Amino acid sequence: MEFTRRDLIRVSAATAVLGTLSRVAEALDDPLPSWNNGAAKQAILTFVKDTTDKSSSKFVEPKDRIATFDQDGTLWTEHPLYTQAMFALDRLVKMAPQHPAWKETEPFKSVLSGDREAMAKFTEKDWVEIVGVTHSGMGTEEFQSLVLAWIGVAKAPRFVRPYTDLVYQPMLEVMKYLRQKEYRTYIVTGGGQEFVRVYSEQVYGVPPEQVVGSSIATTYVNTNGKPVLMREPKPFFIDDGPGKAIGINMFIGKRPYAAFGNSGGDTQMLQWTQAGDGARLMMLVHHDDGTREYAYGPAGGLPDTKVGTFSEALMAEANKSSWTVISMKNDWKRIFPFDK
Amino acid sequence: MEFTRRDLIRVSAATAVLGTLSRVAEALDDPLPSWNNGAAKQAILTFVKDTTDKSSSKFVEPKDRIATFDQDGTLWTEHPLYTQAMFALDRLVKMAPQHPAWKETEPFKSVLSGDREAMAKFTEKDWVEIVGVTHSGMGTEEFQSLVLAWIGVAKAPRFVRPYTDLVYQPMLEVMKYLRQKEYRTYIVTGGGQEFVRVYSEQVYGVPPEQVVGSSIATTYVNTNGKPVLMREPKPFFIDDGPGKAIGINMFIGKRPYAAFGNSGGDTQMLQWTQAGDGARLMMLVHHDDGTREYAYGPAGGLPDTKVGTFSEALMAEANKSSWTVISMKNDWKRIFPFDK
């Protein structure tokens, strides 16, 4: 049989179709479609391949596949203020009529009068007081109901959307991809453990038992056979900085193979992760996209911030330790699920 | 065709074979072969059926299937002394040459001179001191190595076997059965979390992240890029009594559907479990078998004990609250895996 021009056309057409199909298949195969090709995306793909391929010398047994994620600024927006701080302020305003003295007492007075300038200068102690009165005095289940009701209606400034809309699509893809590869994804947050557990499953696919966070003391009170865990105005565990390594050991008892953060409070989590043997993945989200989200941090010209501080020292440690810094501007095609 | 005597013999033989086969099948089907038929075994079977049968009004989603087990006295032998206390005493003796002053200082002096009478009278404070010096001053990984080395060679008195041999075969069957039915089994122990995590997977099939226990404070120390979590001689969390309900909420964030204990320290765990809706299973192991194990508790004539106290008040609460009391003597065919 002779090869004719007609055959050539047929083959070309078939090749073109195959080419298109292969590009579609590639897109479907891409577990990280919201990531631009680059060092950050490649670091994730290489890490997953190295630790899940049985023939790799860096293979990790599924039972040991642990990945930890900071929440604020790593999985969702933390500016202008942490979501939980917004909850505390809203709740303070709602509680105010029952506490007339607050009108004359700082730090409550500034909150109730809406004095943003004063609020921007709140110290750690001011916040502890605000969290104390708004997060305690009720049972754990009542607290969860309060959070659930609030988060269903509250709107984030600037985007005027529910806070739970402001999650980072590229990070959701990383979490999902890791879970497909039999990693268990944990949230390790400086925020309140009981706060985050209310929505973690729905928003991130992370069940409550895989949320490690800060907590306040609870007391077991059993009246009439109806036991309640009463939340006390007293910090119990601060899951931040060195507390993140301590919390990981206490709650999980296994060293993570991958850890994702975005600020100084995540330093020890990344150090602790890296100190293990084999392949380890340490990543820091850098907020350098003021157009699509917020810009703050150590890169040239970005403003400093008290919320989610990424200092020059942290950037230096990242470079020295070969941690991968994710540029929101350059590495992420989309920021939020609602982005086109 | 006529039915002959010969046919009758054939049918009888077939029936006999079928009968034998059916008994074999029944035994194979029985998920709890070391349990005698009785109220305790039936309570477990009914609970599992009710909560895992989709057509049941008490059906529980797999993600919420949580069962919690006390360890000492519930999963393994706690007499004459908790295994971890034995570890502490052995380690104290081993450390003594480096601490000559201990020979003259209580409570160490009594331990080093082997004064059993004095040791039997040790107060809570004495034990805190002994645990303090033997369980701290090293990193978490070094501690785990010490426990692993000890538990591989130490022998339990009376049985002269490794402590890990003294697990209760009927309870291993309950744990396995629950896991087959998509329950996650957690150990919730007054003992040291980091101690139990060393062997929990191998002995009980419970991974480290499903061990909730007491802990001492740790400090993050990073020298030369080799971070260590140093164990401090300071209690951090006591997972006993009300602490068990608090620990369950803190570590799991979900209410158990089933809880197993054996002493006063498990009371609040059972109360907290029962206070949930739907079907809940609360069980207490009663040590009433001095022949095969030990006998102590509230039943007629059994001696009282400081180790794993099952008071008359607890028995009264169990009866009032319809908790199922497991009689080791009557409900268990075998106690240990090595029993015939």
pLDDT digits (tens, 9 = 90+) for A68-77: 999 999 999 9
Domain contains B191: yes
Task: State the amino acid at position A259 in one-letter form.
Answer: A
Taking residues B323-339, report their average pLDDT.
Answer: 97
Residue to substitute from B209, B232, B251, B269, interface A, most A β-carbons within 10 A: B209
Pairing of strands B226-237, B258-261: unpaired
Write the pLDDT tens digit of every residue in B197-227: 999 999 999 999 999 999 999 999 998 889 9
Q: For A321, which residue in chain B has the nearest alpha carbon?
A: B225
Contact residues on chain A for B251, CB-CB shorter than 8 A: 209, 251
Let me know if residue B292 belongs to a domain: yes
Residue range B68-91: mean pLDDT, rounded: 97
Please report the pLDDT score of residue B13 as a whole number: 64
Q: Domains in chain B: how many in total?
A: 1
Question: To the nearest whole angstrom, how far is the Cα of A141 from the nearest Cα of chain B?
Answer: 10
Does B306 fall in a domain? yes
Nearest CB among B197, B218, B225 relative to A246 is that of B218
How confident is the prediction for chain B on average, in pLDDT? 93
> Which residues in B lie closer than 8 A to residue A229 (C-beta atoms)?
245-246, 249
Tokens 């499903």 sit on residue: B210
- Say which DSSP state B322 is in: T
Contact list in B for residue A211 (CB cut-off 8 A) is 253
Q: Do B268 and A194 touch (CB under 8 A)?
A: no
- Inter-chain touch A271–B227, beta carbons under 8 Å: yes
What are the tokens at A201?
């499953």
The pTM assigned to this predicted structure is: 0.91
In percent, how much of chain B has pLDDT > 90? Answer: 84
Distance from CA of B219 to the nearest CA of A (A): 7
Q: Residue A2 — very low, low, confident or very high, per pLDDT cuts 50/70/90?
A: low
Q: Give the per-residue pLDDT at B305.
A: 84
Percent of chain A with pLDDT over 90: 84
**pLDDT top residue among A285 and B2:** A285
Parent domain of B216? 37-331
pLDDT at residue A21 greater than cutoff 80: no
- Output the six-digit token pair for B21: 């086969």
Flag whether pLDDT at B2 surpasses 60.
no
Residue at A64 is within a domain? yes
Domain assignment of residue A131, yes or no: no
Q: What is the pLDDT of residue A166?
A: 98
The size of the A-B interface in CB pairs under 8 A is 77
- Judged against a pLDDT cut of 70, whether residue B8 lies above it is answered with no
Asked, for residue B253, whether it belongs to a domain, the answer is: yes
CB neighbours of residue B205 within 10 Å? 13
**Where are the alpha helices (H) located in A96-168, listed in sequence order?**
108-112, 116-120, 124-135, 140-153
Q: How confident is the model at residue A297 (pLDDT cuts 50, 70, 90)?
A: confident
Residues A89-142: tens digit of each pLDDT:
999 999 999 999 999 999 999 999 999 899 989 998 999 999 999 999 999 999
CATH number at residue A292: 3.40.50.1000
pLDDT digits (tens, 9 = 90+) for B279-318: 999 999 999 999 999 999 887 678 888 888 999 999 999 9
- B23 in any annotated domain: no
The residue type at A147: V
DSSP state of B205: S
pLDDT of residue B19 exceeding 80: no
Show the beta-strand stretches assigned E in B165-320.
Answer: 184-192, 211-223, 226-237, 258-261, 281-286
Contact at CB, A229 and B246, closer than 8 angstroms? yes
If pLDDT is split at 50, 70 and 90, which confidence band does A301 have?
confident
The 3-state secondary structure of B128-166, one letter per residue:
HHHHHHHHCCCEHHHHHHHHHHHHHHCEECCCCEEHHHC
Q: Is position A322 within any domain?
A: yes
- Inter-chain CB proximity A253 and B194 less than 8 Å: yes
What's the mean pLDDT in B36-63? 98
